[in-house]
Amino acid sequence: MTDAPKRDDSSVVEPGLTWVPTAHYRRLVTLALLPLLTAVVLGHPGYLVLAAPMVAALALAASRPGYGARVSVQSSGDRCFEGEQVTFRVSADPGGPADSAAIQLMLPSAQAVSGSTALGHVQAGGGPIEAEWQVTAGRWGRWDTARILVTVRSPGGLFAGTTAVSPGEITVFPRPPALDQLVLPAQLHSRIGDHVDRRPGQGTEFTGIRPFAPGDRLRRINWQVTSRRGALHVNQFAAERAAEIVSVIDAVTDTGPPGDSTLDRAVRGAAGIARAYTRAGDRVGVITLYGPMRWVAPGAGQRQFFRIVESVLDIRSLYSYVSPDVARIPPSVLPAGALVVMFSPLLDERAIDAAIDLRERGHAVIVTDVLATSPTPARGSTLAGLTLRLWRLERQALRYRLESLGIPVVGWPGEPRDTADAGEDSTARLDVALGRFARHRVRGGGR
């Protein structure tokens, strides 16, 4: 996996504490009021002696503290991938006399991160306190949900001061699925790359022998053929070119459980495409298919991978009634001859029309169906089975309609299979869906 750029973040803040009476304070007040009420009701002043100790304790600690605390928060990084861990180290030093101090990490969103939510170390005597947690990123996105709660108890335990400190925003990148078999378009880019082209060039893949022509290098002369035929012949090699791939994420519809919805799978699939092709030296771009469409022009290198994954982190916050129009995409983002891999649940006609439009513009388009669930009819309904069957027939008709236009549709994730790595989800490999297209070049078509 591509390593996420991390930095060691640390911050020191001195927040004020919000002081409130503790349960011990309320118990002392209750115990002091009972003898006083008894003395008033029964008319016996002797009962006031029982209230004297509680009144004296309240009088000695009646003033509410006004000092704060010095809190230092240090994290192992602000960026990670799904499933990776982030370590938080917190130290707190009360700004005045204290009976005890405690640190607690609050994780209100289980979808974002998960980890220990137990109370941190409690230091008797109110001295400096330190705690450490390791949280696991659960879902891609930008999250600012963790809160560090610092609690300080005043001497005597009558008042408790609390403050909440945020460790900062955590950027969680989608975990890219594995893709070992690269799908290539029929038309490769003129830039030098690692893929063998059908055109002759200065590559290393031998394709044949031809007669010598002016300008040929002498070291490419095939002397065996030359001596046999009596004329100069040279070895011919195929050019090595780079491919241009554009991932299209259908963000018009999002259905499914959080963390495994169609949008989650589409984003992870686009991340897998970006990682695999940038490692091969190809140019990769991404288009977010929504009302306010976003895109990243094709580029190469590891920096391009992080540009792509960062551009899709805010998809969940987008909302628009505007229909996406691929005609507004500039040619630099969708160059001629580029292979388009679209991740869509095929539930909205606007996304289907966009795929057809891209095909009519001459691009080679592959649609990856990320819908992994079927509708669940109501129990007890006599038409439940018929309804589900009709829905499946409609899906088959939609696939036939797209394939008749030259747009192959493949399902992803595929069927589960055994894997030696128990930590890797076998259904997450893109080879299951796109592997069959790696055996031949995918062609586009004109209007």
Q: Torsions phi, psi of 384, nearest 5?
A: -60, -50
Which CATH number covers residue 338? 3.40.50
| DSSP state, residue 102 | E
**Nearest one of 270, 402, 291, 254 to 342, comparing CA atoms:** 270
Give the model's pLDDT for residue 286. 93
Higher-pLDDT residue of 108, 45: 45
The mean pLDDT of 188-197, rounded to a whole number, is 62
Q: How many CB atoms lie within 10 A of CB 382?
A: 6
Task: Say whether both 215 and 228 belong to one domain.
Answer: yes
Task: Say whether both 155 and 90 belong to one domain.
Answer: yes
Confidence of residue 423 (pLDDT cuts 50, 70, 90): very low
Helix (H) or strand (E) holding 120: strand 119-124
Higher-pLDDT residue of 118, 186: 186
Task: Say whether both 154 and 288 belong to one domain.
Answer: no
Give the three-class secondary structure for 19: strand
Task: Say whether both 322 and 420 belong to one domain.
Answer: yes
In a domain, 183, yes or no: no
Name the residue type at position 156.
G
Task: Say whether both 130 and 254 belong to one domain.
Answer: no
CA Rg value for the chain? 33
Task: Say whether both 161 and 271 belong to one domain.
Answer: no
Q: Which of 51-60, 63-72, 320-329, 356-365 has the largest mean confidence?
A: 356-365
Give the three-class secondary structure for 274: helix
Give the three-class secondary structure for 145: coil
Global pTM value: 0.75
Alpha-carbon distance of 320 to 98, in angstroms, equals: 53
Task: Say whether both 200 and 339 belong to one domain.
Answer: no
In a domain, 30, yes or no: no
Higher-pLDDT residue of 337, 319: 337
In a domain, 225, yes or no: yes
Helix (H) or strand (E) holding 342: strand 339-344
Question: How would you classify the pairing of strands 294-299 and 339-344?
Answer: unpaired
- Each residue's pLDDT tens digit, 46-66: 666 666 666 666 666 666 777
**Nearest one of 210, 201, 202, 208 to 234, comparing CA atoms:** 210
In a domain, 283, yes or no: yes
In a domain, 265, yes or no: yes
Alpha-carbon distance of 329 to 142, in angstroms, equals: 27
For the chain, report the end-to-end CA distance as a whole number of angstroms. 40
Give the model's pLDDT for residue 440. 78
Confidence of residue 426 (pLDDT cuts 50, 70, 90): very low
Alpha-carbon distance of 322 to 301, in angstroms, equals: 33
Q: Are 239 and 337 in contact (CB under 8 A)?
A: no
Task: Say whether both 114 and 254 belong to one domain.
Answer: no
Give the model's pLDDT for residue 416. 39
> Is the pLDDT score of 342 beyond 90?
yes
> Is the pLDDT score of 430 beyond 80?
yes
> Is the pLDDT score of 11 beyond 90?
no
Confidence of residue 216 (pLDDT cuts 50, 70, 90): confident
Q: Are 259 and 111 in contact (CB under 8 A)?
A: yes
**Nearest one of 262, 252, 254 to 287, comparing CA atoms:** 252
Give the model's pLDDT for residue 261. 87
**Hey, which residues does 209 pair with through a beta bridge?**
235
**Nearest one of 399, 334, 389 to 369, comparing CA atoms:** 399
User: What is the 3-state secondary structure of 386-441?
Assistant: HHHHHHHHHHHHHHHHHHHCCCCEEECCCCCCCCCCCCCCHHHCCHHHHHHHHHCC
Helix (H) or strand (E) holding 254: none
**What's the mean pLDDT when you consider all of the chain?**
77
Helix %, strand %, coil % of the chain (to 5): 30, 30, 40
Task: Say whether both 292 and 431 belong to one domain.
Answer: yes
> Is the pLDDT score of 335 beyond 90?
no
Alpha-carbon distance of 389 to 51, in angstroms, equals: 79
Count of residues making up the chain: 447
Higher-pLDDT residue of 348, 324: 348
Alpha-carbon distance of 437 to 182, in angstroms, equals: 8
Comparing 266-270, 386-390, 433-437, 442-446, the range with the smallest average pLDDT is 442-446
Give the model's pLDDT for residue 89. 85
State the total domains in the chain: 3
Using CA atoms of 303, 306, 311, 316 in order, give the dihedral in degrees to the nearest 10.
180
- Each residue's pLDDT tens digit, 391-405: 889 999 999 999 999
Task: Say whether both 225 and 268 belong to one domain.
Answer: no
**Hey, which residues does 381 pair with through a beta bridge?**
none
Higher-pLDDT residue of 176, 191: 176
> Is the pLDDT score of 447 beyond 50?
no
In a domain, 340, yes or no: yes
Comparing 171-175, 270-274, 347-351, 430-434, the range with the smallest average pLDDT is 430-434
Task: Say whether both 220 and 71 belong to one domain.
Answer: no
The mean pLDDT of 106-120, rounded to a whole number, is 54
Residue indicated by tokens 């069957």:
389
Give the model's pLDDT for residue 274. 92
In a domain, 53, yes or no: no
Give the model's pLDDT for residue 384. 72
Q: By residue range, what is the domain housing residue 109?
A: 9-17+65-173
Alpha-carbon distance of 262 to 195, in angstroms, equals: 32
Task: Say whether both 343 and 431 belong to one domain.
Answer: yes
- Each residue's pLDDT tens digit, 163-174: 888 887 888 899
- Each residue's pLDDT tens digit, 262-319: 889 999 999 999 999 998 888 899 999 887 788 899 988 889 999 998 888 888 776 6
In a domain, 380, yes or no: yes
Give the model's pLDDT for residue 402. 92
